[in-house]
Chains A and B, each alone.
Chain A
Amino acid sequence: MGQLKQPNRQAVLVVEDEPLLRMMAMDVVEDAGFEPVEARDADEAIKILEARTDITIVFTDVDIPGSMNGLKLAAAIGDRWPPIEIIITSGHFRLNDSSIPARTVFFPKPYDHAEIVVTLRWMATQSP
Chain B
Amino acid sequence: MADYVFGGQNNSAKVIDEFDWSRTSLGPIETWPISLRTVVDMMLASQFPQAVVWGPELITIHNDAFVPILGDKASAIGRSFRDVWAEAWSLIGPIAERAYAGESTFIENYPLLIDRHGYEEQTYFPFCYSPLKGDDGKIVGMIDTVVETTETVLGQQRLRESEQRFRAFTAATNDMIFRMSSDLKEMQQLDGRRLSTPLDQPSIDWRNEYLLPDDMPQIEAVIAKAIADKKPFEFEHRVRRKERTVGFMLSRAVPVLDGDGEVTEWFGAATDITDRKTTEQLQGVINREMSHRLKNTLAMVQAIAVQTLRPVQDREPVEALEKRIQALSSAHDILFDRYWQTAPIKSLIASTLQRLVPSERLDAEGPDIQIGPKGALSLSLVLHELATNAVKYGALSNDVGRVKLSWHVDNLGEEKHFRFIWKECDGPPVKPPSQKGFGSKLIRMGLIGTGGVETSYEADGFRAEMTAGLHQIQHTE
Contact = CB atoms under 8 A, between A and B. Distances in A.
Interface stretch (B90-98, B158-166, B290-298): B290-298
B309 to A, nearest CB: 11
A27 B306 contact: yes
B283 to A, nearest CB: 15
Contacts of B288: 92-93
Contact of A20 (B294, B304, B333, B355): B304
Give the interface residue-count category, chain B. 20 to 34
Interface stretch (B25-33, B141-149, B236-244, B322-330): B322-330
A67 to B, nearest CB: 21
A110 to B, nearest CB: 4
B336 interface: yes
A24 B303 CA distance: 6
B310 interface: yes
B295 A112 contact: no
B296 A18 contact: yes
Contact of A23 (B296, B307, B323, B355): B307
Contacts of B203: none
Given A1-B310, A92-B288, A93-B288, A23 B303 contact: yes
B292 A24 contact: no
Contacts of A20: 300, 303-304, 307
A93 B338 CA distance: 13
A91 B288 CA distance: 10
A121 interface: no
A91 B295 contact: yes
Nearest to B310: A1
Contact of B295 (A1, A110, A113, A114): A110
A20 B295 CA distance: 14
B319 interface: yes
A103 interface: no
A63 B292 contact: yes
Nearest to B306: A24
Given A93-B333, A112-B326, A112-B355, A21 B291 contact: no
B292 A91 contact: yes
Contacts of A90: 292
A9 B26 CA distance: 140
Which residue among B299, B304, B319, B323 has the maximum number of chain A CB atoms within 10 Å of its CB?
A: B299
A93 B298 contact: no
Contacts of B295: 91-93, 108-110
B319 to A, nearest CB: 7
A79 B145 CA distance: 103
Contacts of B329: 108-110
B302 interface: yes
Nearest to B318: A113
Nearest to A113: B322
A93 B339 CA distance: 13
A54 B333 CA distance: 37
Contacts of B337: 93
A94 B333 CA distance: 8
Smallest CB-CB A-B distances: 5 pairs: A91-B295, A24-B303, A110-B299, A109-B299, A91-B296
Interface of B: 288, 291-296, 298-304, 306-307, 310, 319, 322-323, 325-326, 329-330, 333, 336-337, 355
5 contacts: A18-B300, A21-B300, A24-B302, A93-B337, A115-B355
Given A90-B292, A93-B292, 9 more contacts: A24-B306, A91-B292, A91-B299, A93-B295, A108-B330, A109-B296, A110-B302, A112-B323, A114-B319
